[in-house]
A and B are shown apart, each in its own frame.
Chain A
Amino acid sequence: MVKVIYRDRQWTVKPGSTVRHIIEAAGLNPESVLAVRDGKLINDATVTRDGDTIKLVAVVSGGV
């Protein structure tokens, strides 16, 4: 399975789908998140593999 982390939420999805698909399925906009795997940025077209942990990072900044 693939573990997905976003803010304080965590869930799992089946391997084999793209990062973009995971983002959209979670109801998020691919324009406003970045995906990180093993501490490295990965592009939206990356196909996830069994055992991956994907961290989604919201890009909208807070106050100054």
Chain B
Amino acid sequence: MKCTRCGGVAVIQMRQHRLQLCEQDFIEWFTAMTRRTVDEFRMFTVTDPVLVAVSGGKDSLGLWDVLLRLGYEAEGVYIHLGIDEGLAYSDRSLEMCRAFVAQHQPQARLHVVDLGQQYGQTIPQLARTKTRGRGKACALCGLVKRHIMNRVARERGVAAIATGHNLDDEVAVLMQNTLHWQTGYLARQAPVLEEQDGLARKVKPLVRFYERETAAYTLIRGIDYIYDECPFARGSTTNRYKEVLNELERHSPGTKQQFYLQFLRARESGRIAFGEAERVRLQPCRRCGQPTTAGDLCAFCRLWE
């Protein structure tokens, strides 16, 4: 199989793009496409500082790497959630982030927030004491990560928080929201979430890539990442949707891309519209100052009551 661009040996075929590329041309394509996505959705400019939420996984480390290679001012932040479960999951993930900096981007700045040390309880501990049970670790974890990311973003004065969500992540959520006709979520799901009442702006520069491509990028760049899933992610609904979508993709290449990008276009052009749910007014939390609908204390601060 030959590279579409140079005729060398192709290492990856992307049927949805009718493209097969060699290592070098793939890296160039991936880098240019990232740049195009950042520009097209007006995510940030080269002079805007951005905060990359890194997890030690392929998407976030790949994102950080490609942004730095493009010359963006990207700082990383890792939240140590204290997930061990006999696998030292959080410790190993942090190690991956540190090794990435040391080996690939020694100038890059990594901020580490340790939940257990700085707030007194880890995610597994919180999940137990808050009696939400093991199954709800992710809901809790999402809340904690959002809060801390937002706090760090405000402290650092960045233009946006960038996350490593790829097209597979987004299309799985889209399918889930569509099957449940979650119109409120469908109205909001986007590559850019604008700042609102003190909630930092959020951007997803990898939304045009299939998960397979972000994995290929980190592999070719020689970036080591944490390969195992978080022990709490097992059997997650998102992964089930991803499987179904990949099954469709296998038989009709481009399905995932079409579903997601056409959704964005149709909404943008007004061909589909969701009645925006009445916008809730957010108030600053009495303790931390972050916006909340709850009044008085936000959900994060209530965790530590």
Contacts and interface: CB of A to CB of B under 8 A. Distances in A.
B199 to A, nearest CB: 18
B10 interface: yes
Contact of A32 (B212, B219, B236): B212
A45 interface: yes
Contact of A34 (B57, B219, B229): B219
Interface residues of A, number: 21
B250 A61 contact: no
A42 B57 CA distance: 22
A64 B216 contact: no
A36 B11 CA distance: 10
Nearest to A24: B250
B20 A43 contact: yes
Interface string A49-64: 0000000011111111
A60 B242 contact: yes
A31 B169 CA distance: 14
B14 to A, nearest CB: 10
Interface in B231-252: 232-233, 236, 239, 242-243, 246-247, 249-250
Interface residues of B, number: 44
B297 to A, nearest CB: 25
Contact of B250 (A29, A34, A59, A63): A29
B59 interface: yes
B219 A63 contact: no
Contact of A45 (B13, B168, B250): B13
B13 A34 contact: no
A46 to B, nearest CB: 8
Contact of B60 (A44, A57, A64): A64
Contacts of A9: none
Contacts of B290: none
Contact of B216 (A34, A44, A46): A34
Contacts of B226: 62
B145 interface: yes
Among B11, B169, B233, residue most surrounded by chain A Cβ atoms (within 10 Å): B11
Given A29-B250, A59-B214, A63-B229, 11 more contacts: A40-B23, A41-B23, A41-B216, A43-B10, A44-B13, A59-B211, A61-B57, A62-B57, A62-B233, A64-B57, A64-B145
Interface of B: 1, 9-13, 20, 23, 53, 55, 57-60, 138, 141, 145, 163, 166, 168-169, 210-212, 214-216, 219-220, 226-230, 232-233, 236, 239, 242-243, 246-247, 249-250
Interface of A: 29-32, 34, 36, 40-46, 57-64
